[in-house]
Amino acid sequence: MNLLQSINPATGEKINARETWQAAELDAVVTQTSDVAPQWAAMPIAERCELLRRTAGRLRERNKKLARVITLEMGKLLKESEAEIEKCAWVCEYYAEHAPRFLADETIVSDAHRSLIAYPPLGTLLAIMPWNFLFWQFFRCAAPALAAGNTVLLKHASNVAECALAMEQLMLDSGFPAHVFRVLLISSADVAQVIADPRVHAVSLTGSETAGRSVAELAGRHLKKTVLELGGSDPFVVLDDAELASTAEAALKARFLNCGQSCIAAKRFIVVEDIADLFLERFKSGIESLKPGDPLDPTTTLAPMSRDDLRQQLHSQVETSVAKGAKIVTGGQPLAARGSFYAPTLLDWVGPGMPAYEEELFGPVAAMIRARDEDDALRIANDSKYGLGGSVWTADRARGKNFARKLACGSAFVNGIVKSDPRLPFGGIKSSGYGRELSLLGIREFVNAKTVWIK
């Protein structure tokens, strides 16, 4: 039996520890969720959507309480936790409003008297979610899945069990029938048997590339639909006509939100060499203004990393990059304080063969790469195994649009920070995964696009 331990990243103090379930308890919960699935699917979609509206209201009522649980358990700034809860309310309201239209029968003209596409649910979805945006990543997956009539099992990261259970209670308090959504208190070693279970029909994972490959292999073995939202090393491309003051300010937010622990955080700052030194000076100034400290303190502007082992991994990537020729402009080391703090860091002269160029830096480290010109910047931006998001910064919107179309990624932004939005599809290509969440495309990932032909 393993323990799911919650440890405050800012202090290193243990919050709670829960024992993982035995096989019999796991089987009972999967059975309960499977048994209720037909009744949930048969409920009119308007009634399911009304429950999502109630959930949005509960999220807003409990915003400060839930945000505090997030901050204590995974360490992000309290104001960022509050914004995350509000975004979850938004996605619930979005699907409550649009799901009936997204899933309405579509008439198709054919040789039939009438033919149509219907969108019934697949059944029970296993959602495997990470710790960094632990409410948002669950709700952006679950809100459309539940609206469509699927039941949902959640295997959350092992260090955020208290947040997972808070979500389960929230859904019950919002009126969701028992067992339509359940949290699984299991270890990662138990996930394979849940994927293999014939009562589970599909899997959605947000996580690392390694986890994605494992889940895809397991699900493929059992012919189950998957959506994978994996890591990213998003390029932040600064062209020679960009307005540097506002671009450097945006770069600071794009890299250091959530202490840089975001799949769609800007990680590779690709700057045309004519303006590289000027951008570097402004970016460095912003980074050095960040104030590490207690994430519950409103004056803190840089949170701790979520776990100490992740901090050590990040530092190893920095040290190896420096050994291969990168230069530390500022930061570059763990901070000597309680908790998992790492100095906000800027590396310059990053190039191929370095971890800062090739790998995902999941923490408060920015890698600056100098490009000869626009064409070289595009080449560097696409010279990555990842393809989640990317942005380009320029005074010429037409130039930016043309550049964005050529970025090899799932979301390309012009003069804006990459973000997820319920109205727009979200997902990646290459080693950043496949499938889409959010928007019309997201709700249709876990339904059966079923042809109905009537003579």
Over residues 226-237, the pLDDT tens digits come to: 999 999 999 999
What average pLDDT does the chain have? 98
One of 93, 162, 209, 229 is an active-site residue; which one? 229
Which option is the CATH number for 234-421: 3.40.50.10420, 1.10.3720.10, 3.40.309.10, 3.90.1150.150?
A: 3.40.309.10
Token pair belonging to 36: 């209720």
Does residue 288 have an active-site annotation? no
pTM above 0.85, yes or no: yes
End-to-end CA distance of the chain: 58
Predicted pLDDT at 1 = 66
Domain with CATH 3.40.309.10 in the chain: 234-421
Domain with CATH 3.40.605.10 in the chain: 3-230+432-454
Handedness of CA 167, 168, 173, 175 (dihedral sign): positive
Cα distance between residue 45 and residue 47, in whole Å: 5
Cα separation values, 344 from 20, 103, 263, 294, 411, Å: 36, 45, 18, 15, 26
Instruction: Tell me if residue 229 is catalytic.
Output: yes
Three-state SS at 353: coil
Q: Per the residue annotation, which of 49, 88, 263, 409 is the catalytic one?
A: 263
CB 198: neighbour CB atoms within 10 A? 9
Spatial distance between the Cα atoms of 22 and 43, rounded to a whole number of angstroms: 32
Q: Which residues of the chain have pLDDT under 50?
A: none
Query: Which DSSP helix (H) or strand (E) runs through 206?
Result: strand 202-206
Sign of dihedral through CA atoms 318, 388, 88, 143?
negative
Calpha distance 49→335 (Å, rounded): 47
What residues contact 435, with CB distance under 8 A and at least 6 apart?
A: 204, 226, 227, 228, 229, 427, 445
Q: What integer pLDDT is reported at residue 342 of this predicted model?
A: 98
pLDDT computed for residue 2 by the predictor: 86
Give me 128's structure tokens: 């495997």
Cβ distance 260 to 80 under 8 Å? Answer: no
- 12 close to 341: Cβ distance less than 8 angstroms: no
Three-class DSSP category at 421: coil
CATH H-level, domain 3-230+432-454: superfamily: Aldehyde Dehydrogenase; Chain A, domain 1 (3.40.605.10)
Helices (H), strands (E): how many in the chain?
15, 20
From 149, 152, 197, 199, select the one nearest 171 (Cα to Cα).
152
